[in-house]
Amino acid sequence: METSDINHHYSQQFNNELEDIRSRVLAMGGLVEKQLAEAIAALSQGRSDIAEGVVSGDYKVNAFDVEIDERCTKILALRKPSASDLRLVLAVIKTTADLERIGDEAKRVARMAIGAASGDHGRNLFGQIAHLGSLVQGMLHRVLDAFARMDVDAAISVAHDDRDIDREYESVMRQSMTYMMEDPRSIPNVIDLIWAARALERSGDRCCNISEYIIYFVKGKDVRHTSLEQIRAEFG
């Protein structure tokens, strides 16, 4: 396991500021985890009340995004960080942006859940989408843990998990096409479920992005647009 320590400055105040923004990212991540879990539960259980709570609570995720961004901007302006400190601030900014987008995807799933709760078609897909959701939840939890420890090995492992999510998403899509061909009346409801599945798959992609930011901070190399095989060969 390879990690990076950020507490090394002559200025304890600067140490505190860096630790504060990292802690706030994890708090934001915990909230996004909760939003995602409740959105998935709302869809699988047909609970529009839970879904409405997810939609109305999205502003809390957005507030975290704005607050962390403002703190990072202040650090960049006043501290003029260099080397690993600058990489940390940039990783935080990028991570919060992806967490905010995962929050948006959770809200999208919740909105689809509200529509699906009143429909009679496509319910056989709920279990499969819930399984897809559980994979994404696990991936988000692991990438936040990797971020907390700035663990490169864990980050690479998370990126590998995205392949399982992609396979499950493709399975959901195939099953959805079958339902719509067999029963055209199911098309409106199934399309909503397809959008929910797509939102979950995109959330997995966002988790992959966060794993790349961890590698960037620790190793100092931008691995975006780099294959998982290349990343493993160099850092695994």
R_g over Cα of the chain = 19
pLDDT band at 120 (very low <50, low <70, confident <90, very high): low
Q: What share of the chain is helix, strand, coil (3-state, %, to 5)?
A: 85, 0, 15
Task: Name, in order, each residue with C-beta under 8 angstroms of 79's C-beta and a sequence gap of 6 or more.
Answer: 14, 17, 85
The pLDDT of residue 10 is above 70: no
pLDDT digits (tens, 9 = 90+) for 122-152: 567 888 899 999 999 999 999 999 999 999 9
What gap in Å lies between CA 158 and CA 53, rounded to an integer? 29
193-205 tens-digit pLDDT = 899 999 999 999 9
The answer to whether 109 and 50 have CB atoms below 8 angstroms apart is: no
Q: Tell me, what's the pLDDT at 122? A: 59
Nearest C-alpha neighbor of 104 from the set 208, 199, 222, 211: 199
Rounded to 10 deg, the angle between the 12-45 and 83-117 helix axes is 20
Q: What is the SS3 assignment for 203? A: helix
